Amino acid sequence: MSEPWSRAAVVGIGQTEFSQASGRSERRLAVEAITAALADAGLAPSDVDGLVTFDVDSNDPSSLAATLGLGPLTFFASTLYGGGGGCATITHAAMAVATGAAEVVVCYRAMNERSGVRYGQARVGGRAIPPVLSFSAPYGIHTAAQGFALNIARYFHEHGVTNADVAPVAVAQRGHAATNPAARFYGRPITIEDHQSSRWIVEPVLRLYDCCLESDGAVAIVVTTAERARELPQVPVRVVAGSQGLAGHPMRDWYRASICSADETRAAGERLWAASGLGPHDVQVAILYDHFVPLVLTQLEALGFCPPGEARHFVADGGVALGGRLPVNTHGGLTGEAYLHGMNGIAEAVRQLRGTAVNQVRDVEHALVTSGPGVPTSALILGRPA
């Protein structure tokens, strides 16, 4: 492992409930998650000297620092490209504590994405379509589902995949959610038949149960130095490696030679493997961003868990369920627990490494986490204490 990466650890996680309508402001949600994460870490707000969030979060570091009475801060940043930036918040924080730019950095995401502005709905009007979107929006390609559908349809065509082939992933994740009390689909597993009879969102690639669960809520994660982590109450989770991946902007960049592999995830993954000296066989649990279930398949291929076009076999017969060859999204994922832009998945990876997950995988040494493919993305490997 490259030496600077050994200097950072995740020491606290906190979250609100996940719901359809929080009834509280996004700032209030952020405060609740951050104070919960700091309490989990055994740290006080006065210990915090860094904040990292998503560029799309309504709570910029300055307004949140004022709300919480934090400061002075010596490091603050936001990550780009919406759901592609989740793992990157941890990487930014890890780099900050490794270099001494800060010592205690809180990463957070708070959103009323279901009761407020929904990403799953077209937003048009009030002004002309921006020039860069004028090659897609006039055709009714507004949302992520509508944009990714063209990539997924081509993937299905090139590899002989059908929507039925992705059903086992959705079913596995709803199974994980069904036993997770924090999940919005707690107690509500589905069958292959349920999946295949759910209505089309974009035919023939995305059914309702292939799409993430737009949600209200917040998640916060505390990163500090390995030295400081030793004094704190939780089992420290090592940030083994972090990276980002940019290979076009697939949601509206359909002009490359191939449009159906998760090239951004491949770029991030190859850097992770190189930086850590690890490979797919060293990972016992994976949190793969499932805004749309078919993209779990392309990520498995891009990360080297199986060859291109082979993921439908990898996921069949419980392959990504608890007890399968690679348990994926053991919290239920964005389709079963909640769509919190993937920050809830990072918290799940931390629980898996602490040994406190409700759907605990045995003997987890390393967890791989990805952020959204289909936009410039990011990824992480977290590990048990050395």
Which residues are near other proteins by CB under 8 A?
120-122, 124-143, 146, 149-154, 157, 199-205, 252, 254-255, 259
Cβ-based nearer residue to other proteins, 157 or 362: 157
Under 8 Å between Cβ of 79 and 54: yes
Distance of CA 254 to the CA centre of its chain: 23
Q: Nearest approach, Cβ of 73 to other proteins (angstroms)?
A: 37
DSSP SS3 for 156: helix
CB neighbours of residue 354 within 10 Å: 17
Catalytic residue among 108, 155, 209, 339: 339
The nearer residue to other proteins, 179 or 198, going by C-beta atoms, is 198
d(CA 368, CA 386): 17
Catalytic residue list contains 81: no
CB of 259 to other proteins, least distance (A): 7
Locate 169 and state its tokens.
């992933």
Q: 129 or 358, CB closer to other proteins?
A: 129
Cβ burial of 357 (10 Å; 0-12, 13-18, 19+) is: buried
Cβ closest to other proteins, residue 153 vs residue 369: 153
221's enclosing H/E stretch is strand 216-225
Kind of pairing, strands 104-112 and 50-54?
A: parallel
Whether residue 209 lies in the annotated active site: no
How far is the C-alpha of 120 from the C-alpha of 354, rounded, in Å? Answer: 34
Closest alpha carbon to 289 in 88, 91, 127: 88
Give the residue with the Cβ less far from other proteins, 151 or 359: 151
Active-site residue set: 289, 339
